[in-house]
Amino acid sequence: MNNDKNIWESRYQAGTIGWDRGESSTNLSYWLDNGLLKPCRILIPGCGNGYEVLTLAQLGFDVVAIDIAPSAIKNLQSMLDKEDLNVELILGDYFDWKPKEQFDAIFEQTSLCALPAELWQQYESRLYGWLKPRGKLFAQFMQTEREGGPPYHCALNDMVILFSNKKWRWSGEHTAQEKEPGKTELLYVLEKV
């Protein structure tokens, strides 16, 4: 299973975290700059070193972040302490975690594409359960056009089936951000029905 604590922790300790840009995501900036994401109670699953956590906390969001790798949480806590920011950090497996209250929004950037397809339905159920009614999922669907992963290719047709219109309302607003040659993220806002 790709949500194994030891796999992710060993990557942080070895410094083999190629997905870490060292700064907040341009995808997050897109949603903030366009007024699509405003201060609220927000969850960041699979937060990693958490640059987006810092950005959102600095902007007044009530942020909760969870990661399975102790080193990621430790690194993030150190950055938060330097900035004197208060964020609820959770060290744990989000498949086992149950929050005390639901969220207005979820910033989903790296978790879905890090999971093999056989775990996607279980993860979608978690996302749905974590959100308040009419809560919004800010989703980035990785397009790699290749087999295997992580990151795994999240074909849009598969995402439409996974996030069905029985449970989710897809916004007409979307965009694509090229991350590097061969990798593009499709950005969509989905609202819990």
149: CATH: 3.40.50.150
CA gap 189, 107 in Å, rounded: 10
Q: Which residue has the higher pLDDT, 106 or 147?
A: 106
What's the mean pLDDT in 32-48? 96
Assess contact for 174 and 29: CB atoms under 8 A.
no
**Exposed/middle/buried for 150, CB within 10 Å: 0-12, 13-18, 19+?**
middle
Cα Rg of the chain (Å, integer):
16
User: Which residues form the domain of 26?
Assistant: 5-192
pLDDT higher than 50, residue 175: yes
The number of folded domains in the chain is 1
Confidence at 2, pLDDT banded by 50, 70, 90: very low
| pLDDT one-digit tens code per residue, 18-34 | 566 667 888 999 999 99
Q: Which residue has the higher pLDDT, 18 or 155?
A: 155
- pTM equals 0.90
Confidence at 173, pLDDT banded by 50, 70, 90: confident
- Residue 178's pLDDT is 74
137: left (phi over 0), alpha (psi -120 to 50) or beta: beta
- Residue 25's pLDDT is 87
- DSSP result, 58-99: HTT-EEEEEES-HHHHHHHHHHHHHHT---EEEES-TTT---
